[in-house]
């Protein structure tokens, strides 16, 4: 699965304003959306690796994203069982970078680069703030 993203260059002063708005939220006391995106991406890849139960993400993902991740994790487990035969030790994926773009006060999009044992992966997500809590409404894992 390939994703492409085209962006236009903006002046530095506008960039810093956008990043502050996306990170701090309305009153500045909200949890940094970059930290939320980072932890959800890490957890989602751990679900796919089989080291974390998917139900731990039930509050962070909307129902469509949750069901999609659950289905993909099941397919990944079946494929791994057929190709490996025996369980191999697994090291946790490491988040290398997080970029956040504020769409509005309550909507952000994030792109995350995650390094695994033998490759790097891209994760893209759309986060929406519902009742003061960030929830993922779109999730793509490359």
pLDDT tens per residue, range 5-19: 443 434 444 333 344
Spatial neighbors of 23 by CB under 8 A, at least 6 apart, are: 32, 33, 34, 100
CA distance 86 to 67: 27
What the block records as the tokens of 47 is 């679900």
**Domains of the chain from N-terminus onward:** 30-82+91-141 (3.10.450.50)
| 95-141 confidence digits (pLDDT tens) | 999 999 999 999 999 999 999 888 899 999 999 998 888 999 999 99
Whether this prediction's pTM lies above 0.85 is answered by: no
Chain mean position to CA 38: 6
């Amino acid at each position: 699965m390939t994703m492409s993203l085209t962006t236009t260059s903006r002046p530095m002063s506008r960039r810093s304003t956008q990043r502050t708005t996306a990170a701090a939220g309305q009153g500045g006391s909200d949890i940094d959306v970059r930290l939320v995106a980072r932890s959800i991406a890490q957890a989602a890849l751990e679900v796919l690796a089989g080291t974390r139960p998917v139900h731990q993400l039930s509050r962070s993902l909307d129902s469509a994203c949750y069901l999609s991740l659950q289905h993909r994790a099941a397919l990944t487990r079946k494929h791994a069982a057929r190709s490996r035969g025996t369980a191999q030790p697994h090291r946790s994926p490491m988040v290398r970078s997080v970029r956040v773009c504020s769409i509005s006060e309550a909507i952000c999009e994030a792109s995350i680069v995650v390094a695994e044992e033998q490759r790097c992966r891209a994760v893209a997500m759309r986060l929406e703030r519902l009742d003061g809590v960030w929830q993922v409404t779109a999730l793509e894992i490359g």
